[in-house]
Structure 1
Amino acid sequence: MTTPRPVLVVDFGAQYAQLIARRVREAKVYSEIVPHSMPVAEMLAKDPAAIILSGGPSSVYEPGAPQVDGKLFDAGVPVFGICYGFQAMAQALGGTVAHTGRREFGGTPLRVAGESALMVGLPAEQNVWMSHGDSVSEAPQGFTVTATSAGAPVAAFEHVAQGFAGVQFHPEVGHTPHGQKMLERFLYDIARIEPTWTMGNIIDDQVAAIQAQVGSAEVICGLSGGVDSAVAAALVHKAVGDQLTCVFVDHGLLRAGEAEQVERDYVAATGIKLKVVDASERFLAALAGVTDPEEKRKIIGREFIRVFEAAAREIASAGDVQFLVQGTLYPDVVESGGGTGTANIKSHHNVGGLPDDLQFKLVEPLRTLFKDEVRALGATLGLPEEMVWRHPFPGPGLAIRIIGAVDRERLDILRAADKIGREELTAAGLDRDVWQFPVVLLADVRSVGVQGDGRTYGHPVVLRPVSSEDAMTADWSRLPYDVIAKISTRITNEVREVNRVVLDVTSKPPGTIEWE
């Protein structure tokens, strides 16, 4: 099996570096991520079809900031700079980057200035997603300035003859509506790359990689019932067949009906061997009195692994279990500080929460993918539609949707409220319009209410419907008021301990999708 010449995404510490690579693959072009510390000679040894320079948190003129080796631009390889990569490219080629004092963050109006290979056929005025404090004030010699904004006099430039282009904004995020078209114009029209990379190639590559890693050893997979672990299990099963046993751990932190659904439906859909472990008492005991979100996640990650180790010992009669499959996605990795130079926003239970003395080798076939890619992969593998399109649900479960300590009473309250929210969203036909719909219990907060002509002192719950494409950026979903009203009425009528329902209208950034 061979892969085409890659488009290399040079990671300067951006949380969006993997998203750029994903967008390139979405354009049916093969991509790989490399660190900015990789010497140019090693990059060129990969015979890249093009190179994309990612964003990053640094200022190009600060001491120690990562730079672009000028030799990169003498190699005859098309180059596209994004945000920090755009500034580093401009500086390396003789342009000027300065701190103008006019920062731009979030949605920003962009004006196209004249002819542009990147923006041909696109609106002359459009909205883009900016995130910068520095700006290119002067383009390198021979480059054409093709777009401007209020805070960026050079918001885009091109030198088509040399195969070079760059933009100050982020074309890779969903909040730049025409961004994918711009990336495709660079790939197809400037870099002259044919779109031949498909989901079938991804499956073939991963199956071959899993077979090479696992060999004849036994494998277990942590199955949660969510799309990530379901697709990871299906992919590993395609690679190694009955060497795989799925372990479903009921940690007592699931939503209403989920444990029964997994045990009943997943085996019927896939034919994979399934072992069910009820560990709810163990998890609740470990979480007793814990309120810190990071500590919750690390406890859950640790307990998961210990339960898996115990399950592996029971399965060991069939062979030596050496490998653990996880449905880890790239947003989990990057938010846990797993990117080059990225910040640790929160430790996901399957990344930052893993114990140091882990007894398994990890198999993570989805680690470089985003949620919509995973769904496409699941559909290609033949998983049922209801499984593929299930809303994302965090591995730590309802523990991180309870603000405060976790116990059975609080879990029961949240399960009841969450069930109502999901039922009404489905009844309104909005499941596909909403990326994720966390319902959050503010367990350590009480407010005064009036019900049945009497005073109440109950908990508030927060509705957090969000719309997203990749979980890296998100906006709150504008649900119809009558749907919100019905959810609120049902929760306050049917869940005795709740007397107030509020709506979270925060985007990501600055907030994350989950509250913890």
Structure 2
Amino acid sequence: MTPPIEPSVLDAPASTSQGFDALERQMIVILDFGSQYSELIARRIRETQVYSEVLSYRTTVEQLRQLNPKGIILSGGPNSVYDQGAPQCDPGIWELGIPVLGVCYGMQLMVQQLGGSVERTDRGEYGKAKIEIDDPTDLLTNVEDNSIMWMSHGDSVTKLPEGFGLLAHTTNTPCAAIAEHDRNLYGVQFHPEVVHSQFGQALIRNFVYHICKCEPTWTTEAFVEESIREIRAKIGDKRVLLALSGGVDSSTLAFLLHRAIGDQLTCMFIDQGFMRKLEPERLVKLFHEQFHIDVAYVNARERFVDAIAGITDPEEKRKRIGHEFIRVFEEESKRLGPFDYLAQGTLYPDVIESADTNVDPQTGERVAVKIKSHHNVGGLPKDLQFKLVEPLRKLFKDEVRKVGRSIGLPEEIVNRQPFPGPGLAIRILGEVTNEKLNILRDADLIVRQEINRAGIYHDVWQAFAVLLPVRSVGVMGDQRTYAYPIVLRCVKSEDGMTADWARIPYDLLETISNRIVNEVKGVNRVVYDITSKPPGTIEWE
């Protein structure tokens, strides 16, 4: 029987007999062929309360046997399966006896490797398409006929492998969903993982529960319990230095570590000069007086600003900031330490976006494009003096929030909007100066004040200001001005992997614009970014 539908991941009570090791054995593996949505598939699997993980398409059958997943999903990708050098999976996958679901490119690869045909067609299919169901069993149980699914392909399956049957078709795609029921091999040409696919999650649940026979064991309580056990086993009697930023990730990590190892934890807040207005002072006071967790405050503003002086490339900014973070921690640890471990609030999307797991060892080329490095992943120096401890690196943002709530983190931090590790340094395009930092702090404060005042702070994923490295002509009090523009960025999202620009009221936009222009010296223009992710990213750098 299919477990009841839960509203979101990690809500079910934990089984007292299962720790995190047991949860990992109840897992679905996603093999990544270069899709920007591979992590989104993982996210959708976790919404069924089953653990999932993204691995390189080069993962071998032997490695998969060791992992012993309950199911395998082959992601989409930018290639055509008939291209020279197109990525291939280990063909032994089809003989593992483990259910496999191919999505878009993944389905086409399945067809090609098993003796079918894939060809470029005269009519591609992009965007919404109605699927007509030919076989409503197994994979398409509870998926309504003529429902909308999201398509994005120019190639199509023209001949099915022996033993495969048709599950669904569309007007332009004769093979929209296929199956070889005896071996539990399934394929869909559409993308069930995107929100535009009306019954996409129902399909995913069918694969996870009906076909892979998984149980919903990926829960908050089980994660916390086993994480504490693993932290204690790894750390022993050693001391840990935590890079505290005040966001939900590092704050949840602070609470989790403090519960696990108590006074062996020292939190250090490095004020790098890129924080929002009044945040450093508020953070230190909150942790000291309300949470009773000691925080060592280090004022390194001048040092960090100097480290990126004249730097305009965003990747170089991130790397220099990450490098400087580690160096400061190393120096300060000598004063407060010694410490053996550095704790970081690295999350799973950080790891995926920064990883080079799909680099071809012969050509050096990547299958998936690295979007951006993260200061706590891509900016670490090779001569790092600490051992890293990153208990949250397998979690998505909303999973971290659930963990935070479960261990007593206040809602004001749990619901805090994401803020990048490099801070305002990557919200100032081009060179960062103290003058620009002061301008952006004042503008950002106004944005946050008005979003809060309008009562929509929790309705948007992020709302912030960006300072552009250009100036434009304006008029104030009959005087010509030549000042900076501020970009207002407000987006809605579930997990930060995709996002849509927020349709906030015009009168609120007007209020924010008027206040910034009137109150922030050096700004004479405010514009609103109406770009979604993709094609853009949430942050500008």
User: Is residue 514 of structure 2 the alignment partner of residue 489 of structure 1?
Assistant: yes
* Residue of structure 2 in register with 1:386 after alignment: 412
With over 3 angstroms needed to count, the CA separation of the structure-2 counterparts of 1:59 and 1:236, relative to structure 1, is farther
User: Is residue 517 of structure 2 the alignment partner of residue 507 of structure 1?
Assistant: no
Alignment of 1:197-208 (within 5 A): 197-208=218-229
Contact 2:131/2:149, CA 8 A, preserved across alignment: no
With over 3 angstroms needed to count, the CA separation of the structure-2 counterparts of 1:39 and 1:289, relative to structure 1, is closer
User: Is residue 454 of structure 2 the alignment partner of residue 428 of structure 1?
Assistant: yes
* Residue of structure 1 in register with 2:482 after alignment: 457
**Distance in 2 of aligned mates of 1:514 and 1:220:** 28
* Residue of structure 1 in register with 2:271 after alignment: 250
Query: How far apart are 1:402 and its partner, in Å?
Result: 0.8
Query: How far apart are 1:104 and its partner, in Å?
Result: 5.0
**Which structure 2 segments of 5+ residues have no match?**
1-18, 360-367
Query: How far apart are 1:114 and its partner, in Å?
Result: 2.9
Query: How far apart are 1:53 and its partner, in Å?
Result: 1.8
The one-letter amino acid of 2:245's match is: S
**Distance in 1 of aligned mates of 2:234 and 2:173:** 48
Give the counterpart of 1:325 among 338, 343, 347.
343
Moved more, 24-33 or 469-478: 24-33
**What percent identity do the matched residue pairs reach?**
53
**Distance in 2 of aligned mates of 1:287 and 1:360:** 24
* Residue of structure 2 in register with 1:217 after alignment: 238
Query: How far apart are 1:216 and its partner, in Å?
Result: 1.7
**Distance in 2 of aligned mates of 1:176 and 1:265:** 43
User: Is residue 91 of structure 2 the alignment partner of residue 73 of structure 1?
Assistant: no
**Per-residue CA distance 1:223-262 (angstroms, 9 max, x = gap):** 1111111112222223222111111011111111211221
Alignment of 1:140-151 (within 5 A): 140-149=161-170
Give the counterpart of 1:315 among 331, 336, 340.
336
Secondary structure in 2 aligned to 1:465?
A: strand
User: Is residue 386 of structure 2 the alignment partner of residue 366 of structure 1?
Assistant: no
Contact 2:133/2:146, CA 8 A, preserved across alignment: no
Give the counterpart of 2:382 among 337, 350, 356.
356
**Distance in 1 of aligned mates of 2:486 and 2:197:** 32
RMSD of Structure 2 on Structure 1 (CA): 2.2
With over 3 angstroms needed to count, the CA separation of the structure-2 counterparts of 1:288 and 1:48, relative to structure 1, is closer
Query: How far apart are 1:460 and its partner, in Å?
Result: 0.8
**Distance in 1 of aligned mates of 2:348 and 2:154:** 27
User: TM-score, length-normalised on structure 2?
Assistant: 0.88
User: Is residue 286 of structure 2 the alignment partner of residue 260 of structure 1?
Assistant: no
**Distance in 1 of aligned mates of 2:316 and 2:90:** 42
Secondary structure in 1 aligned to 2:462?
A: coil
With over 3 angstroms needed to count, the CA separation of the structure-2 counterparts of 1:19 and 1:355, relative to structure 1, is same
User: Is residue 64 of structure 2 the alignment partner of residue 39 of structure 1?
Assistant: no
**Distance in 2 of aligned mates of 1:21 and 1:29:** 10
Query: How far apart are 1:279 and its partner, in Å?
Result: 0.5
Moved more, 8-17 or 227-236: 8-17
**Per-residue CA distance 1:348-389 (angstroms, 9 max, x = gap):** 211222222211111112222221111112112221111011
**Distance in 2 of aligned mates of 1:64 and 1:257:** 53
With over 3 angstroms needed to count, the CA separation of the structure-2 counterparts of 1:288 and 1:72, relative to structure 1, is closer
Contact 2:142/2:202, CA 8 A, preserved across alignment: no
Moved more, 126-135 or 350-359: 126-135
**Which structure 1 segments of 5+ residues have no match?**
none
Secondary structure in 2 aligned to 1:272?
A: coil
**Distance in 1 of aligned mates of 2:146 and 2:475:** 51
Query: How far apart are 1:515 and its partner, in Å?
Result: 0.7
Contact 2:59/2:90, CA 8 A, preserved across alignment: no
With over 3 angstroms needed to count, the CA separation of the structure-2 counterparts of 1:426 and 1:127, relative to structure 1, is farther
The one-letter amino acid of 2:508's match is: V
* Residue of structure 2 in register with 1:64 after alignment: 85
Secondary structure in 2 aligned to 1:432?
A: helix
* Residue of structure 1 in register with 2:186 after alignment: 165
Secondary structure in 2 aligned to 1:277?
A: strand
With over 3 angstroms needed to count, the CA separation of the structure-2 counterparts of 1:427 and 1:206, relative to structure 1, is same
The one-letter amino acid of 1:331's match is: P
* Residue of structure 1 in register with 2:121 after alignment: 100
* Residue of structure 2 in register with 1:446 after alignment: 471
The one-letter amino acid of 1:455's match is: R
**Distance in 2 of aligned mates of 1:98 and 1:269:** 63
Contact 1:174/1:469, CA 8 A, preserved across alignment: no
**Distance in 1 of aligned mates of 2:317 and 2:62:** 44
Secondary structure in 1 aligned to 2:296?
A: strand
Query: How far apart are 1:313 and its partner, in Å?
Result: 0.7
Alignment of 1:10-159 (within 5 A): 10-100=31-121, 102-103=123-124, 107-116=127-136, 117-149=138-170, 152-159=173-180
The one-letter amino acid of 2:516's match is: I
The one-letter amino acid of 1:328's match is: T
* Poorly superposed stretches of 4+, deviation over 6 Å: none
* Residue of structure 2 in register with 1:407 after alignment: 433
Contact 2:516/2:523, CA 8 A, preserved across alignment: yes
**Distance in 1 of aligned mates of 2:147 and 2:290:** 45
Moved more, 288-297 or 17-26: 17-26
Give the counterpart of 1:468 among 476, 493, 510.
493
Secondary structure in 1 aligned to 2:115?
A: coil
Query: How far apart are 1:153 and its partner, in Å?
Result: 3.6
With over 3 angstroms needed to count, the CA separation of the structure-2 counterparts of 1:143 and 1:377, relative to structure 1, is same
**Distance in 1 of aligned mates of 2:221 and 2:46:** 12
Query: How far apart are 1:123 and its partner, in Å?
Result: 4.0
**Distance in 2 of aligned mates of 1:339 and 1:130:** 27
Query: How far apart are 1:482 and its partner, in Å?
Result: 1.7
Alignment of 1:236-315 (within 5 A): 236-315=257-336
**Distance in 2 of aligned mates of 1:30 and 1:72:** 20
Query: How far apart are 1:129 and its partner, in Å?
Result: 4.1
- Number of residue pairs matched? 511
Query: How far apart are 1:16 and its partner, in Å?
Result: 3.2
Moved more, 109-118 or 123-132: 123-132
